[in-house]
Structure 1
Amino acid sequence: MRLIEHPRARTWFLVLSLLVLFGGDAWRYSVGWVVWGVVAAAIVAASVLILIQSRHRWSIGGLPYPFVVFMVLATVSLAWSQYPAASALGLVTTWMTVLGALTLAISFSWAELLNGLARVVRILIAASLVFELVVATIVRGPILPWTAQPAVAVPGYDTVPKMLYWSRNELFETFDDGRIQGIVGNANHLGFLALLGLIAFSIQWATGAAGKRWSIIWITLAALTLFFTRSATVTVALVAVAVTIVGLLLVRSRRTERARRVTAIGVVAAAAVAGGTAFVLRDTIFGLLGKSGDLTGRAEIWQIVIGLAEQRPVFGWGWISFWMPWVEPFKDRVIRNGVVQVQAHDAWLDVWLQLGLVGVFVFAAFVLSTLLRAWFAATDQPQTHSREREPYSALSLLPIALMVALVVQSIPESRLLGEYGLALLVIIAVKTKRPDWMVRSS
């Protein structure tokens, strides 16, 4: 008997896996790293068992080559790592994420993943809004995580750095530069969850997986959550996703293959011009969103990271995923507002730092190939076995919408290299490459 053969077991496994991936900080802030680690380890153990049980349905040779090469490069970087113990720990967490994501990719259909994602985002958004409301009306002050966290605070500060608070009690200040952080403890993270909610809830509505009334309610709550986070970077990602979806709908509206191809080229060209224009006018755009052109101090962080990367430019310092603030060269290296940073705030700079230019090339191939397959999955009209054309499904927009959101987020954040970012990337890469691997429940 397979571990997740029963429908209820499948649902629980999917939801719990996604809750650990997307709500990691909520777990760690509330019940601690040990409990979170035990739950994550149990899920990975179950994932390995499922992969073994399903070994006749998938193979390492069938995985996307850039993905395999990237994982091999990250693993062998242990040989030249300047912090081998930290690299080993980083590799353990990375492999745990990858094994869990691979299991989800071969065990669940896109429809199941959509419903699971929507359910988890609903839980996290609802919990975040209730959490912030309780803090604002009952606690009436900022609160710290309930459990001990790694040493990221710089000694010598008279007050607790603002970035270390679980909630800053700013729900009623959102119209005056306040930002909510929700149960995940980070405004940008919560904003990205809200963006995923807008994507998932809209596609559920379009496919009929959710009713109109509840879809409108949850879309409204997701939009309000995004507004309350005041995340400029997620707002830019939202615009990018919206433009992509509009462009894809335009392509899909064309009747002939040639017309779709020409329209697709035009859409991509227009997007490139728009992206270039946005980059040139970034100071103005972010100014309108209430942010500085350097993305609130990120430019300074990037300069420090570039300086480190230039010391070992070809193969990097060694894989570590998110930085460990007690390890050199990260210890007290990048400090912002009294807090030691645990990422470069740019996935591409982080890859250069850790795996060098070789790693950047491999990772770019991994991301770009996945992005292209997601695009073609959305633009290629489905056919029956007799080669008759079938109507497009709104569900086929899910992979490309998620990929665009992830790629845009990879510029101001490094979350693409761990937890939910890496997991989504692996799921999309595998499912768009080998949709035939899906292991059915019956």
Structure 2
Amino acid sequence: MTTRRQLVALLASAEFARAYTLTALAAAFMSFLIEQLMSRVTLATIITALAAAGVAMLLARREELSLLRLAPTSLLGFLVLALISVLWTSDRSDTLTSWLTLLGYSIIAITIGHVRDTLQTVRAIGDTLRWLLALSLALEIMSGILLDMPFKALGIEGNLAVGGPIQGIFGTRNMLGFIAVIAMITFVIEWRTQSIGRLVGALSVSLGAFLALFSASPTVLVLAAAVGVVTTALTIVRHAPPARRNTVQWMLGALVAGALGLAFALRHQIIRLLDAGSDFSTRADLWNMILDFVAQRPVTGYGWFGPWARGEFPFTYINFLLADHHQSALNAYFDVLLQLGWIGLVLFLVMGGVAIVRSWLVASVRRSVVYAWTPLVLITLAVDSMFESFTLTGAGWVLLVLCVLRAGQSRSWRENIDAAQTGTIPTLRPGRDEG
């Protein structure tokens, strides 16, 4: 009995929560490297072990948790739909395996979201990405400058000396660029909250910017521009007088809608400016082909597979028709539409959209800048999902679930139910919660 109590105490301890968070985040962000150096089975084993440990931690902390607020309804709905798609998929075993992978990463993110607060989460992600980006740079220097040879086992081509593109330990230049942008957001938040010193903050941001630049990813410019615009807008809202804040929110919303319309009208000029014509042309051909297949199963899709499985319909057939070897739809929204139909896409959009609105409202009234991390990361994920499917697997999915959970913890109908039971008032009042 003593041993059992000691185990429960260990699982519920803050030290174990911190160690678990760092280990789980490292595994998620290093998923490509683990799979390349070891195997997909090894990665699956690690994720399974971490998910099991996460469940044990939640059980050990069950007295301080609310089952009603364990996970957002939209997330649970998406997971349930992905599971029941096994009924109409072309390969039930692959769909079930892919769903278990999705569930494993979801449990990891849910666990982190409940055992660590926002600042602790930001610091853990910052520590993890600092080491992984530094490792990426060190390997790129060895491969591209010191040894002048590619590290094929690591997916590193060794192009640093010629100005890129580089991949680091993340497999592709676009993934490195995406991770670098997420890292810079996190490093700046750490810096502003004085979680790290000025020197470490400056070096961290410089590291992220350097790798983002040498990734030569056309999506980095889009992500950087989106983050810059959103940061400016959020700063304006946060500094607006409380009485005028709603008016400012609506004005900014109208400006964003107008900017999106203008960007769509000038999309061809923007593509030429970014020198991304060939990349966009490839994506346009792929998306048009996907829509042809979606028309055959518009409601339910073809079943959940996550990254495109080899030899499975319709992915192999799409690649055959395009004479290409895509491993995703190069767009998270099209991937969800193809695999889970319009039902899945609506759930996915609701999950992300509601989380953005909730986190934005919280960040606009809370004084601490740490609350800006969630909406900034969510919008980065939303924008990147227009060009890649990173959000649906691995670190991208962990970040999405973590942000959706964090947003739901602050503004949710569940809070009203909990308030009725506890007698507390969960609303955010500008005069009280800005401090």
TM-score, normalised via structure 2 length:
0.88
Q: What is the deviation of 1:421?
A: 1.8
2 CA distance for matches of 1:60 and 1:21?
Answer: 27
Q: What is the deviation of 1:338?
A: 7.7
Answer yes or no: is the 8 Å Cα contact 1:182–1:190 preserved in 2.
yes
Q: Specify whether residues 332 and 286 from structure 1 end up closer, same or farther in structure 2 by C-alpha distance, changes over 3 A only.
A: same
2:35 is equivalent to residue 34 of structure 1: no
2 CA distance for matches of 1:185 and 1:336?
Answer: 26
Aligned residue in 1 for 2:200: 214
Aligned residue in 2 for 1:168: 157
2:395 is equivalent to residue 420 of structure 1: yes
Answer yes or no: is the 8 Å Cα contact 1:43–1:100 preserved in 2.
yes
Instruction: Write out per-residue CA displacement over residues 368-395 of structure 1, whole angstroms, 9 at most, x where no aligned residue.
Output: 11111111111124xxxxxxxxxx1110
Instruction: Write out per-residue CA displacement over residues 317-357 of structure 1, whole angstroms, 9 at most, x where no aligned residue.
Output: 11111111232322253269986222101111111111111
Tell which has more relative contact order, 1 or 2 (C-alpha 8 A, sep 6+).
1
2:378 is equivalent to residue 378 of structure 1: no
Correspondent of 1:79 among 69, 79, 87:
87
Q: What is the deviation of 1:427?
A: 1.2
Q: Specify whether residues 32 and 62 from structure 1 end up closer, same or farther in structure 2 by C-alpha distance, changes over 3 A only.
A: closer
Correspondent of 1:225 among 205, 211, 232:
211
2:284 is equivalent to residue 299 of structure 1: yes
Aligned residue in 1 for 2:142: 134
Structure 1 gap segments, 5+ residues each: 147-165, 382-391, 438-442
RMSD between aligned alpha carbons? 2.1
1 CA distance for matches of 2:267 and 2:377?
Answer: 23
Partner SS state of residue 191, structure 2: helix
Aligned residue in 1 for 2:184: 198
Q: By percentage of residues, which structure has more helix?
A: 2
Which residues in structure 2 correspond to 1:346-385 (within 5 Å)? 346-381=331-366
Q: What is the deviation of 1:37?
A: 2.4
Aligned residue in 2 for 1:434: 409
Correspondent of 1:91 among 99, 119, 125:
99
Q: Which moved more, 1:99-108 or 1:416-425?
A: 416-425
Q: What is the deviation of 1:416?
A: 1.5
Which residues in structure 2 correspond to 1:262-273 (within 5 Å)? 262-273=247-258
TM-score, normalised via structure 1 length:
0.86
Answer yes or no: is the 8 Å Cα contact 1:203–1:398 preserved in 2.
yes
Q: What is the deviation of 1:425?
A: 1.6
Identity score, percent: 27
Q: Specify whether residues 173 and 332 from structure 1 end up closer, same or farther in structure 2 by C-alpha distance, changes over 3 A only.
A: farther
Aligned partner letter, 1:197: A
Q: What is the deviation of 1:403?
A: 0.5
Partner SS state of residue 318, structure 2: coil
Instruction: Write out per-residue CA displacement over residues 56-90 of structure 1, whole angstroms, 9 at most, x where no aligned residue.
Output: 31315663222222111111111122221211111
Aligned residue in 1 for 2:430: none
1 CA distance for matches of 2:320 and 2:88?
Answer: 26
Aligned residue in 1 for 2:117: 109
Correspondent of 1:44 among 38, 51, 75:
51
Q: What is the deviation of 1:221?
A: 1.1
Partner SS state of residue 93, structure 1: helix
Answer yes or no: is the 8 Å Cα contact 1:194–1:225 preserved in 2.
yes
Number of residue equivalences: 404
2 CA distance for matches of 1:138 and 1:71?
Answer: 46
2 CA distance for matches of 1:7 and 1:427?
Answer: 19
Q: What is the deviation of 1:295?
A: 2.2
Aligned residue in 1 for 2:421: none
Structure 2 gap segments, 5+ residues each: 1-7, 419-435
Partner SS state of residue 277, structure 2: coil
Q: Which moved more, 1:262-271 or 1:56-65?
A: 56-65
2:324 is equivalent to residue 317 of structure 1: no
Answer yes or no: is the 8 Å Cα contact 2:286–2:322 preserved in 1.
no
Q: Specify whether residues 23 and 67 from structure 1 end up closer, same or farther in structure 2 by C-alpha distance, changes over 3 A only.
A: same
2 CA distance for matches of 1:431 and 1:180?
Answer: 33
2 CA distance for matches of 1:75 and 1:2?
Answer: 34
Aligned residue in 2 for 1:402: 377
Partner SS state of residue 333, structure 1: helix
Aligned residue in 2 for 1:119: 127
Answer yes or no: is the 8 Å Cα contact 1:286–1:293 preserved in 2.
no
Answer yes or no: is the 8 Å Cα contact 2:89–2:303 preserved in 1.
yes
Answer yes or no: is the 8 Å Cα contact 2:110–2:402 preserved in 1.
yes
Aligned partner letter, 1:315: T
2 CA distance for matches of 1:342 and 1:422?
Answer: 17
Q: What is the deviation of 1:7?
A: 4.2
Which residues in structure 2 correspond to 1:253-292 (within 5 Å)? 253-257=239-243, 259-292=244-277
Answer yes or no: is the 8 Å Cα contact 2:12–2:60 preserved in 1.
no
Aligned partner letter, 1:302: W
Q: Specify whether residues 277 and 334 from structure 1 end up closer, same or farther in structure 2 by C-alpha distance, changes over 3 A only.
A: same
1 CA distance for matches of 2:24 and 2:334?
Answer: 28
Answer yes or no: is the 8 Å Cα contact 1:282–1:293 preserved in 2.
no
2 CA distance for matches of 1:23 and 1:279?
Answer: 35
2 CA distance for matches of 1:306 and 1:344?
Answer: 11
2 CA distance for matches of 1:180 and 1:276?
Answer: 33
Aligned partner letter, 1:256: P
2 CA distance for matches of 1:407 and 1:66?
Answer: 16
2 CA distance for matches of 1:415 and 1:89?
Answer: 18
Aligned partner letter, 2:41: V
2:73 is equivalent to residue 65 of structure 1: yes
Q: What is the deviation of 1:34?
A: 3.1
Partner SS state of residue 119, structure 1: helix
Q: Which moved more, 1:421-430 or 1:294-303?
A: 294-303
Aligned residue in 2 for 1:150: none
Q: What is the deviation of 1:32?
A: 2.7
